[in-house]
Amino acid sequence: MDTTATLYRPAAPRSRGAGHYRRPGTTASYCGRTVEATPSPDAMFTGTCKQCAKAEHTDRVAAEQVAADRSIDGPTLAERAGVRYCLVGTGRRVHYSNNDDTLCGREVTKYTDGLDDRHNSLCAPCITAAEKRAYALALAATSPLAAAAVDVAETVEQADAAATAQPLVIIPCGAAKLDQAAPAAELYTGSYHRACARAAATLTANGGTVVILSALHGLVPLDRILDPYNMRMGDAGSVTPDLLRAQARELGLDGATNVTILAGLAYTAPALRVWPHASTPLAGKGGMGNHMQALAAIANAATPAPATEGALYAPAGLRNLTTGHVLDEATGRAYCGAELAGPNGAAVLTCAACRHVRDTAAAVAVVEADEQFATVARAVDAVAYAEETGARVTALGDAEALYAAQLVTEAEATDGTWRGAWIGEQPTGDLLFTLDPGTEQGALFA
């Protein structure tokens, strides 16, 4: 788009100055000034309003992306967003991925060439995230430094996704202990704790973290040296959920998405206050014998029955129920956490908890995509400002710091201060010269 003939002068200008871009369908510029009805030639201007240029560029890129979405001849959304088509489990929906996870946060089973007869629909959260990625990449395309900012943000996003997707398994402490100080992995000698540890080792065989939930010490890494103690969860002085949340942040585990809690109710309840989305394979099994049997099955890598697309499932031990559960392909369990036996052909209703958890997960994926896009957009804005002002910065962090300082300066000049009231939006009719609204008072006397 050629913008050289679309610069406008403010209404009733006093002298030559910066040209402005008019917001389509209005008589106002992007920076909020009323402008003349017709554009003026370049010779009338000393430059272009930076605020207008930035806002017009953003709008133009957005419009180009909308046009590209509707085009049948141009590049696909996957090409514009730099992502690949992929599948998750045996599901029929096609997802987008830019690493080993889908844009909606699930693990990729395999990559594909796109839609086909069996996989004939796209994941809606993935579409939303891909549209935002395509927009951010297009916005940065005109600036090499801005493109580098997007690359940095994407690298951080991928690293964060990889870290939070690694399995995190929480196991309980035990009453039986060595009589001397030892690493937490060796201190507890009881059969129940050892069974939990064996199951956790299987779940993290390909990578992940095992943490012991101690009634006295809270979240304990396996290599931490502990002295013997006598404390049960729920006793006076035992750890609280608030302390556990703080410890999770310190250990960098608070954002974990793939969490399994192998423990009885007394330990599972406070852990769920930290990771409410965690899987709890022992929940509802009752009795030490049932727990030991379930832990042995996990340790021996027992797997659930294959998924059937669109089917409703019966919980383990029950069948021919009117209400069926929805399988979460990522965990092999129902979305509500129940262990599943197999498809339930008699089901005519869907478990309300399964529907809620599934729909909430989809909504969270959209929110996370918004947050990732905002991170990229802030980086692009920062490097764009650095380029506009001619600042000599070579690192993204320096550009962001410079831009943040400018935003603070603008806020101080216009947001409820005496300078904002004095400088602010002043009529230009009786002034000797035009003063931009965001200009500091000190600029008058420089």
Cβ-count burial 355-377 (b if 16+ within 10 Å, e if not): eebbeebeeebeebbeebbebbb
* Sequence-separated (6 or more) residues with CB below 8 Å from residue 265: 283
Q: Say whether pLDDT at 245 is over 80.
A: yes
State the pLDDT at residue 178: 92
Written as six digits, the tokens of 52 are 């207008």
Give the pLDDT band (50/70/90) at residue 3: very low
Written as six digits, the tokens of 216 are 């006295």
Domain spans of the chain? Answer: 1-74, 82-164, 167-354
State the pLDDT at residue 440: 47
Q: Say whether pLDDT at 174 is over 80.
A: yes
Q: What is the DSSP letter of 370?
A: H
The DSSP-derived string for 252-302 is T-TT-SSEEE-S-HHHHHHHHHH-TT-B-TTTT--SHHHHHHHHHHHHTT-
State the pLDDT at residue 303: 42
State the pLDDT at residue 19: 86
Tens digit of each residue's pLDDT (9 = 90 or more) over 76-131: 888 888 889 998 887 788 899 887 788 887 888 889 988 888 888 888 778 878 88
The arithmetic mean of pLDDT across residues 120-147, rounded, is 72
* Sequence-separated (6 or more) residues with CB below 8 Å from residue 408: none
State the pLDDT at residue 441: 45
Give the pLDDT band (50/70/90) at residue 258: confident
Coil, strand or helix at 187: helix
Chain centroid to Cα 347, Å, comes to 35
* Sequence-separated (6 or more) residues with CB below 8 Å from residue 205: none
Q: Which residues pair with 18 in a beta bridge?
A: 47
Give the pLDDT band (50/70/90) at residue 319: low
Specify the long-range contacts of residues 66-69, CB closer than 8 Å, at least 24 apart: 68/134, 69/131
